[in-house]
Amino acid sequence: MDGGNQTRISDFLLLGISESPEQQQVLFWMFLSMYLVTVVGNVLIILAISFDPRLHTPMYFFLANLSFTDLFFVTNTIPKMLVNLQSQNKAISYAGCMTQLYFLVSLVTLDNLILATMAYDRYVAICRPLHYVTAMSPGLCILLLTLCWSLSLLYGLTLTLFMTKVTFCGSQKIHYIFCEMYVLLRLACSNTQIIHIVLITTGIFIFLTPFGFMMISYIRIVRTILQIPSASSKYKAFSTCASHLAVVSLFYGTLCMVYLQPLQSYSMKDSVATVMYAVVTPMMNPFIYSLRNKDMHGALGRLLLGKAFQKVT
């Protein structure tokens, strides 16, 4: 397209899922409740792990970072969405939209890489228990987490820079709740074939490679568990992995529904799936990881009872 016909727009209009005032009120209270539950749940997980020496292990170190990522993730999108649901001015600046997109991509990627790292931790703990202390040393855990953060921020920056080369013209209306990659590409009037190819190829590397690694790890974990003679020991070994498997299934299930498809086929049902991984998954993670975890139950109990005792005294 000729550069003289391209216009750089200054802002977008985030119209949300529905323009009906009645439905917007319902959505406001629903998302506000989910946001508060997500914040409280993940903050409690982080505090419980931080203050309880019994949880100063690699598994809980990565879990605390996963909770921090989820907390940052929902704070990047939901507050602005809540303001838009209550306001007549639903505009978001071009720079604000690109910033939101950057953190959205980076934090989804970080979630993905931390989940893969947690799968490796479970593999070493169950399949190579005698080597666990040396294989998951504090230095290695910090190195793995640093790599996760570095790759995520770099990936988010790369895709955001590609998006800044896309030209938007005509409609500025985004019928969605935040600046999401595929929604923005639907508004583009320049050629998006290159960035779509980049999305698919990098997505395979960034998301499917860790997913494949997790699947291989859990195949080996299951084989090891099945060789354990004691039924109680089998149950204990499997219970340490069940929560992680549930989170992985929820995360990847919704993610694949949205992004592993041609851009032209993206529709409102995929917007619902995006809400699932952007709002529901961060909210559910604290419940899933603490539901059947006695160590986490104990740490949360000591944290809450300790706070209550301090108030009484």
Q: With helix as H, strand as E and coil as C, how does the chain read?
A: CCHHHCCCCCEEEECCCCCCHHHHHHHHHHHHHHHHHHHHHHHHHHHHHHHCHHHCCHHHHHHHHHHHHHHHHHHHHHHHHHHHHHCCCCEEEHHHHHHHHHHHHHHHHHHHHHHHHHHHHHHHHHHCHHHHHHHCCHHHHHHHHHHHHHHHHHHHHHHHHHHHCCCECCCCEECCCCCCHHHHHHHECCCCHHHHHHHHHHHHHHHHHHHHHHHHHHHHHHHHHHCCCCHHHHHHHHHHHHHHHHHHHHHHHHHHHHHCCCHHHCCHHHHHHHHHHHHHHHHHHHHHHHHCCHHHHHHHHHHHHHHHHHHHC
Does residue 313 have a pLDDT over 50? no
The phi, psi pair for 173, rounded to 5°, reads -85, 125
| Contact in structure between 49 and 286 (CB atoms under 8 Å) | no
In the chain, the percentage of residues whose pLDDT exceeds 70 is: 87
Does residue 226 have a pLDDT over 70? yes
What is the pLDDT at residue 1? 41
What is the pLDDT at residue 312? 45
Region 252-259: mean pLDDT is 73
In the chain, the percentage of residues whose pLDDT exceeds 90 is: 29
Region 159-174: mean pLDDT is 82
Q: Classify strands 91-93 and 11-14 as parallel, antiparallel or unpaired.
A: antiparallel
Region 22-50: mean pLDDT is 89
Does residue 269 have a pLDDT over 70? no
pTM of structure: 0.86
Region 40-57: mean pLDDT is 90
The identity of residue 276, as a single letter, is M
Q: What angle do CA 30, 256, 160 make, to 5 degrees?
A: 80
What is the pLDDT at residue 190? 79
237 vs 261, higher pLDDT: 237
CA dihedral over 197, 198, 201, 206, signed as positive or negative: negative
What is the pLDDT at residue 309? 45
Does residue 3 have a pLDDT over 70? no
108 vs 246, higher pLDDT: 108
271 vs 20, higher pLDDT: 20
Confidence of residue 262 (pLDDT cuts 50, 70, 90): low
What is the pLDDT at residue 148? 95
Does residue 4 have a pLDDT over 90? no
- Least confident segment among 38-47, 85-94, 226-235, 272-281: 272-281
- Tens of pLDDT, residue by residue over 296-308, are 878 888 887 765 5
| Bridge partner list, 11 | 93
Does residue 167 have a pLDDT over 80? yes
